Amino acid sequence: MSDAAVELGGVPTRVVDEGSGPVVVLVHATPFDLDYWSGLACALRSGCRVVRYDLRGHGAAAEAPVPTTARLVEDLRELLDVLDVGSAHLVGHSLGAVIAQDFALAHPDRTRRLSLLAARASPSPLFTTLADALRRDAAAADISITRWFTSGQLARNGSAVQYARTRIEQTPVASWADGLARLAEADCLEELARLTMPAEVVVGEDDQGAKPEHSRAIADAIPTASFHLVPRARSLLALEHPEIVAPLVR
């Protein structure tokens, strides 16, 4: 396994590269970092080369501001160039799914397959509201953790809850708010019909942000996509249920 510092667009960040075989690149959501994918990476690396990295404003790149989605897409292109990867299977969660969709639209020749978890592809007033609330008051972070977990899960304070709390504490509030703003302004639904690579759209039945009906619309818009609803699950699918997600994206 390689765990190294890589510079993307002038910003140093962290990249973990493990396993061998077809390349799978995992693109995380806000306010998380590449460790969000640890369970899924473990499940995939026996048959794939699994690459994960920290987005600007997160993890090892926390000091960098979160720019436009176009810049985040360019960072992903640079990552593939640095690693000498011609094309890859992109797996994106939430903000990562926005980046993955836009990358696939801009670089279809470099996108072998597309897996979208808790995705958005049209503007979301909810995420605009959350971004504005965070900018006004960092205590609004509590809104998100109660969207991600049930009261029982929060009371038990298991490893997924502990990880989420750590990321809330360590990710700059401005980065989180800007990441939510990029998610809120996603607007590529009508363009998705151009995609021809294999794809799957996965959403939790109880996801309060991405919404199953919107994920269904994304799957319907991509001619090659399959749709998968995970029963009794919320947004953090790969963190809480890597054993369910892995067979869907393997």
Over the stretch 20-58, which tens digit does the pLDDT of each residue have?
Answer: 999 999 999 999 999 999 999 999 999 999 999 999 999
CA separation for the pair 44, 6 (Å, rounded)? 23
Residue 102: predicted pLDDT: 98
CATH number of 2-249: 3.40.50.1820
3-state secondary structure 160-186: HHHHHHHHHHHCCHHHHHHHHHHHHCC
Residue 144: predicted pLDDT: 84
CA separation for the pair 111, 121 (Å, rounded)? 18
Domain residue ranges of the chain, discontinuous segments joined by +: 2-249
Residue 213 buriedness (CB in 10 A; 0-12 / 13-18 / 19+): exposed
Residues 179, 185, 190, CA angle at the centre, nearest 5°? 130
Q: Is the pLDDT assigned to residue 141 strictly greater than 90?
A: no
The distance between the two most distant Cα atoms of the chain, rounded to a whole number of Å, is: 46
Q: Is the pLDDT assigned to residue 123 strictly greater than 90?
A: yes
Instruction: Give me 217's structure tokens.
Output: 């619309």
* Mean pLDDT, residues 89-108 taken together: 98
